Amino acid sequence: MLLFLAVMAFFGGLRLLELAVSQRNWKAHQTEQRRRLREPLFLWMVLLHSSLFVVLPLEYFLGGPRLALPLSAVAAAILVLALALRVWTLVTMGRSWNVRVVYGDDYPIVSHGPFRYIRHPNYLVVILELLSLPLVWHLYWSALWLSLFNGVVLYFRIRNEEAVLSRNPAWVAAMAHKPRFLPVRNG
C-alpha cells in the first residue's frame, strides 16, 4: 500500500509541477501576437487527470489490488518509458511547452527531439500513463475508464489543436506530414 500511495503522490506532484511550468511558460511568451485557444474541452482534460486520483484509489482499496508478474512488470516498464519520453518532450519544448493550445505566427515550432518522429509525443505519454499506471496493480476498470475517457478527450483536443496550428505555414511544413503518435518507417 505504501508503494501505491508513493506512486500516486509522485504523479500528483508531477501534474501540479506541469501546471506551474505551463503557467510560467505562458507568462514568458505572452504577447499581443500570441494567443491561448479558448477551449471548453480543457475542463474535460482537467476532469480526466483529476479522476486518476479518484478512480485508482477507489478501485485499489475496494477491489483488492495486486502486484503480479508478468503484467505488473510490463506495465511498470511502459510507465518508466513513458516518463522518460515525457522528460525528453518537456526538455525539447522548453519554454514553448504548455498545457493549453498556444499559437501565433511567431510562436516557435519545435520539430526536433521526439517531434522529429511524431507530432504529439506528450499525448502519447498520457495514453501510456493512463493505461499502464492502473495495470501495474491490475486495476482493470480504472485502466478501461481512464483510457476510454482519454480517447474521447484527445480525439477532440487534437482536432482543435491541429486546426489552430495548421493556420501556421511553418507548423504545416515541419509537422503535418508526421504521424501523430507512433513513428512509421517508410519503405
The string of pLDDT tens digits covering residues 105-145 is 777 889 999 999 999 999 999 999 999 999 999 999 999 99
| Residue-range definition of the domain harbouring residue 83 | 2-175
Establish if 89 belongs to a structural domain. Answer: yes
Give the pLDDT band (50/70/90) at residue 35. Answer: low
Establish if 134 belongs to a structural domain. Answer: yes
Calculate mean pLDDT across residues 94-115. 84
HSE of 154, CA atoms in CB hemisphere, 13 A: 19
DSSP letter assigned to residue 109? P
CATH of the domain at 81: 1.20.120.1630
Rounded to two decimals, the pTM is 0.90
Establish if 57 belongs to a structural domain. Answer: yes
Establish if 184 belongs to a structural domain. Answer: no
Domains: count for the chain:
1
Alpha-carbon torsion 48, 7, 5, 128, what sign?
Answer: positive
Percent of the chain with pLDDT over 90: 64
